[in-house]
Structure formats: structure tokens, C-alpha cells
Structure 1
Amino acid sequence: AYDTAACYDYIDEREAIAGIPPQRNAKIWFHGNRKTPRHPRDENLRKIRLVGRAKWKRLINYHRRSLAETTMFRFKTAFGGKVSSRKMERQVNELKVQCLVLNHMIQVAKPDSYAC
């Protein structure tokens, strides 16, 4: 879904690094003899072919995406998908308080571990 030229252009405009896994049947977009730098998608695809998809995901910390999605799911489940304040300053404060509450809820629910 995100393996598109438009997504890569958007990421490039923000000078970020694209960690989008190409589709399994993906082909190289731009082959060798070019004077421009290699396309990030093609570099990802070459690296996947070299080390394998699972190792590539570990190398780029792809699991962090899943952690972020889980955190946002928890946040929206606990507080809903909207803020009730109208002014931006109050919205920021509201979201900060909700983050503090969510962090506290996670700490309270976390089991105590003891070394045996």
C-alpha cells in the first residue's frame, strides 16, 4: 500500500529514510547506469535480496513501527480518537495529560519481575 513513488517522494521531501518493505514480487525501478543517486526503494530491494527480508527488517528496526501502532491503538482505545478542547494550546495540554495517564496505566499494569 505504501510502496509507491508518491510515498517515496513525500518521504524524500522531508529528508527522512524510507523503511517501506517492497512487495515480494517487486522489481528494481531504476537500474545501474544513471548519474542520479540510487532510489531508496531500489536500495531496500537490493539489501533484501542480499540478506533476506527478516534480517532486513531487523537491520532497519522495522519492529518499531509495530510498537508505535500498538501505542496509538492503546491511546485511542483509552481516550477516543478526538480531543475535546477547541484551542490548540489546550489541545496540546489535554494530549500531554492523556499521555501521562496512559504511561501511568501501563506502569500500574506491568507485572513485577524478580530474578530467581
Structure 2
Amino acid sequence: MDGAYDGEPTSDLLVARFGSTIEVTIPPPKNAVLSPNAAQDPTVRDRHIADISVRGRMGWQMASGYNQRSRAETLMSRWKTVIGPKLKARSFKHQKTETKIGVRILNRMTELGRPNFQRTA
């Protein structure tokens, strides 16, 4: 196995836990090789490796939606750093209110850090 978590055991675990409709998008390492039966029955990992060889790693990330997942992880990390790791309200109604407040805070912080360009000439 040439990857830490991009092999069949991880994919099989995810399918068993979340069902067969899940699409596993784990980036294979740079030295990944195709499975022996990739020509007859390619796995998802084989398709990712082939796509990377055709498009390049950045092209694969855009085509597979890997960037969206990365953005979601970054957003959740930012939320947990600024707001906290869990909601404090107990009722669902209050949790929704707490979430709306947190989103407004994060959006405001992002807005404050964004440059404001103005044409001068």
C-alpha cells in the first residue's frame, strides 16, 4: 500500500458506514500506482490516479470537487476556532439562533479582512 488512507480498507469502511451511494474523494499520493486489474475493473482510486495523470493534480482537484471539500473543512476549522467546538444551546430553536449569530460574526470578520479596491485613475 502506497498511501496512508487512500486504499481499499478506508473506502470499504466509508461505504459500510455511509452506504454505497457515497463518493469517496481521497487524493492518492504522488507515487500511487494503478491496481493490477485496473484495465478490466478500475476502482475509484484507479480512476483518480488516471485523471491526475491526464489533468494534473490541480485539474483533478477542480474536476473532482476536492477543493469544495477543502473549503468546507477550512470553514469548519475557522468556526471551531472562533465560535467553539460545539453549540451551547440545548433546544433546536436556540441552536438555530446561535448558529445564525455565529455565521454573522464570521461573515463580518471575513468582510473586515477583505481589501476594498477603488479606481483612482
Same fold (TM over 0.5): yes
The match for 1:52 among 56, 72, 87 is: 56
Report the CA distance shift for 1:87/1:20 in structure 2 as closer, same or farther (over 3 A): same
Residue 32 of structure 1 is matched in structure 2 by: 39
Deviations 1:58-113 (A, max 9, x none): 33343333322322222112111122112334223312321122112222332211
- TM-score normalised to structure 1 length: 0.72
- TM-score normalised to structure 2 length: 0.70
The match for 1:88 among 69, 84, 92 is: 92
In structure 2, C-alpha distance between the alignment counterparts of 1:91 and 1:74, rounded to whole Å: 18
SS at structure 2 position matched to 1:92: helix
The match for 2:70 among 62, 66, 71 is: 66
Residue 3 of structure 1 is matched in structure 2 by: 6
Indicate whether 1:100 and 2:107 are aligned: no
Residue 28 of structure 2 is matched in structure 1 by: 22
In structure 2, C-alpha distance between the alignment counterparts of 1:107 and 1:65, rounded to whole Å: 22
Counting matched residue pairs gives 113
In structure 1, C-alpha distance between the alignment counterparts of 2:7 and 2:67, rounded to whole Å: 21
**RMSD between aligned alpha carbons?**
2.6
- Residue 101 of structure 1 aligns with an amino acid whose one-letter code is I
In structure 1, C-alpha distance between the alignment counterparts of 2:22 and 2:117, rounded to whole Å: 38
Identity %: 31
In structure 2, C-alpha distance between the alignment counterparts of 1:55 and 1:100, rounded to whole Å: 33
Residue 114 of structure 2 is matched in structure 1 by: 110
In structure 2, C-alpha distance between the alignment counterparts of 1:7 and 1:91, rounded to whole Å: 33
In structure 2, C-alpha distance between the alignment counterparts of 1:100 and 1:89, rounded to whole Å: 17
